[in-house]
Amino acid sequence: MPIFDAYCRACPRLFRFLQDVQRQHADYFCAPVPAFGDAQPGLLIVGLAPGMHGANRTGRPFTGDYAGVLLYQTLYELGLASMPESTAADDELQLFGVRITNAVKCLPPQNKPNRDEIMQCNAFLHEEISNLPADCKLLALGKIAHDAILRSEGLRLSRYPFAHGACHRLPGGRELYDSYHCSRYNTQTKRLTARMFHDVLRQASRHIAP
């Protein structure tokens, strides 16, 4: 299976939803959103799925929506991005040593993919991770992304429980770091603060030379 299929129609519910959104917003991307960033990264960041008016609009992960504000600002502060914000797919933003993808490539209704959709898209995540450099770390933004990474590697979820700030050493030596998702809800309720997120991202990327 290819790493990414821009014409994937494997999830009927998501395909129908994208068609409905496209009718309302003719200029939106409304298709599976590809990964973005360094082709040979030292860190792969895995989110949940494209946001309605963010990646689903722009065609680039965490671009043009609230969830990307903290992510790209923090990457910039750590010297891993050329700009502190991501507003459009053609804004010339570059990432250094970092690549960003999602566990589910298409926009789900209410930002909630169902289990079948997560499992269907898992083969793409498996191929993405399989093609990473051997020393590339993984950072899961939220439990769904965390579980998707483990499933893509054929690992038991119970052996690697999700916890903000946790670091798991996977078979083969790859490291998986966990963070709460940088969503509007988590940041506004202070479940995730800028300092908390900065600390996790700094730890996960400490081996990358800016």
Question: pTM score, two decimals?
Answer: 0.96
Three-state secondary-structure class, residue 93: coil
pLDDT at 210: 61
Residue with tokens 């600002």: 73
User: What domains does the chain contain, in order, with CATH numbers?
Assistant: 12-155+166-204 (3.40.470.10)
pLDDT attached to residue 1: 40
**pLDDT value at residue 83:** 96
- Work out the angle at residue 52's Cα, subtended by the Cα atoms of residues 12 and 201, and round it to the nearest 5 degrees: 110
**Cβ contact 67:105 at 8 Å:** no
The pLDDT value given to residue 7:
87
Which regions of the chain does DSSP assign to beta strands (E)? 36-37, 43-47, 98-102, 137-141, 167-169, 175-179
**What distance in Å separates the CA atoms of residue 119 and residue 107, rounded to the nearest whole number?**
15
Chain mean pLDDT for the chain: 95
Among 178, 179, 162, 33, smallest CA distance to 102 is for 33
Q: What residue ranges of the chain have pLDDT lower than 70?
A: 1-2, 210
